[in-house]
Amino acid sequence: MNNSSTSTQDRRDRRRKVAALLAGGLVVGVGTAATLAAWNDSEYAASTFTAGSFNMQGSTDQSSFDEHTTSTGAAGLAFSVPVTNLSPSDVVYAPYALRLDADTTNGADVVVDSVTATGTVTNLSYGVVTTSAAGCNAAAFAGGTSVVADGTALSSIGSPTGFTLAKPVAPADGAPTYLCFKVTAGGGLAQGQSGAATWKFTATSN
């Protein structure tokens, strides 16, 4: 065999082996790169949303409170005598109080929302004030803060002024706001006339 041909063939075989090794090395290198992983992490945030409670109560004796949520179940105001035997110029008074119960989670803004009169209420006028303490008479009314202006027709609320109810501090009920009603019989009051009025107080949480 020709030595020159043999040498040439040997060189070709060596180049093929080197090329094969290089190719193998490249394959290994690519495989290694593909196994690298990126770091990752997660974070979550959540909350629960719960509504509060809101409940107003009334009291005609300013000490024992209950709910009166409909006009048919309205609390009966205890007016002073002679509420059932009125004559012209007579004036009668009645106490009332409002508060928020212990489960209520907000304070409240309150307004006299409406009055519904039935029967004959002509020549009768009234006023409502808040007072600093329980009790309702001429002195308490005179020293009170106007809610419905004195002299308003019994079938109207005029332009009422709102007031507030304190937010309760659990486990106690909220502090009451004391009210005093005054009704005055006018000079034109007719003998035997009879009528009634129902007031609606509306509270809005604040």
Give the DSSP letter string of 45-72.
-----------EEEESSSSS-B---SST
The three-state secondary structure class of 79 is coil
Q: Quick: pLDDT tens for 67-110.
A: 999 999 999 999 999 999 999 999 999 999 999 999 999 999 99
Angle at 200 between CA 71 and CA 179, to 5 degrees: 120
Q: Quick: pLDDT tens for 117-138.
A: 999 999 999 999 999 999 999 9
- Burial class from Cβ neighbours inside 10 Å (0-12, 13-18, 19+) for residue 101 reads middle
Indicate whether 31 pLDDT > 60.
no
What's the pLDDT at 32? 46
The tokens describing 6, both together, are 């043999």
The three-state secondary structure class of 205 is strand
Indicate whether 44 pLDDT > 70.
yes
Give the mean pLDDT of 175-192.
97
What's the pLDDT at 29? 43
pLDDT band at residue 36 using 50, 70 and 90 as cut-offs: low
Percent of the chain with pLDDT over 70: 82
Q: Dihedrals φ, ψ of 6, to 5°?
A: -65, -45
Strand order from edge to edge, sheet including 108-119: 163-165, 108-119, 195-205
Alpha-carbon dihedral sign for residues 62, 64, 70, 76: negative
Indicate whether 62 pLDDT > 80.
yes
